[in-house]
Chain A
Amino acid sequence: MAPAKGHFTILYFAAAASFTARSTDELPAPVQACSLFAQLEERYPGITLKVLSSCAVTVNLEYIDIDEDDGLTIKEGDEVAIIPPVSSG
């Protein structure tokens, strides 16, 4: 489902979903990728240390480097996902 105008969707899985107690949020766009974790910390105090520090991030199904992709902007309608360490098998 497309997010509301001026927003992007963020998906939480596994430990991230447990911490936020939800599977998705709609957050205001645009936002600099490098400030995403700070925004999540504001909304969910403690999440950076407990969860995000071991997570990867995707934007529209592509992995981004949250520290290196300095100029990257998350735009309206994007689908961002927080990817904790995986455990298939």
Chain B
Amino acid sequence: MTTTEPETYVPDLPPNPVTRTTSTIHVELTPHILDSLSVTKFVRSPSAGATVLFIGTTRDSFNNQPVSSLAYTSYTPLAITTLYSIAETILSKHDLTKIAIVHKLGECPIGEESILIAVSSPHRQAAWRAGEEALEETKKRAEIWKLERFEGGDGIWRANRDGTMGVKVEDGKKEAV
């Protein structure tokens, strides 16, 4: 059985990080290893008493099935616009000082960082809430897709919205599983 996304599948991805940055917002899609210290440094500020950092790492299983590798692909120009719009909305809604959202593209080894969200605000409650909301909005809306490859075979395009197995990649045809 062959798959259209075999183990040699190389996702289409930009060779360099794609970013959009202002003095208070930083969003980035990058093929490089994520740097949690640099996003923390971007958001921290003398006017903010709280900085919250979320690090999402890739899991080694889905529904007890061992995942051997993962790769992310994106519609990069649209995804950057969406991330910026999420960041802008949440910055204003929670009166944040700064916000950063960074997502990995391409191969992401199991256990490594795939997403970073950092927010800062004068007080901690707003920072906690804003961090969670930024993550949920990103998972819901950003035009980024995760391909999970299972040990011994097939690749699955995950879909966040239903939390199910998504679409199985096989012989150029898809079967819902």
Contact = CB atoms under 8 A, between A and B. Distances in A.
A1 interface: no
A23 B166 CA distance: 19
A88 B160 contact: yes
B169 A18 contact: yes
Given A61-B81, A83-B75, A89 B173 contact: no
Interface residues of B, number: 38
Given A19-B173, A81-B78, A86 B4 contact: no
Determine the main DSSP class of A at the interface with B.
loop
A84 B160 CA distance: 11
Given A85-B161, A87-B157, A88-B103, A19 B174 contact: yes
A84 B144 CA distance: 10
A11 interface: yes
A54 to B, nearest CB: 8
Contacts of A81: 75, 78
28 contacts: A13-B73, A13-B145, A14-B73, A15-B167, A18-B4, A18-B157, A18-B169, A19-B172, A19-B173, A19-B174, A21-B4, A23-B12, A61-B78, A61-B81, A81-B78, A85-B159, A85-B160, A85-B161, A86-B143, A86-B144, A86-B161, A88-B103, A88-B114, A88-B139, A88-B142, A88-B144, A88-B145, A89-B160
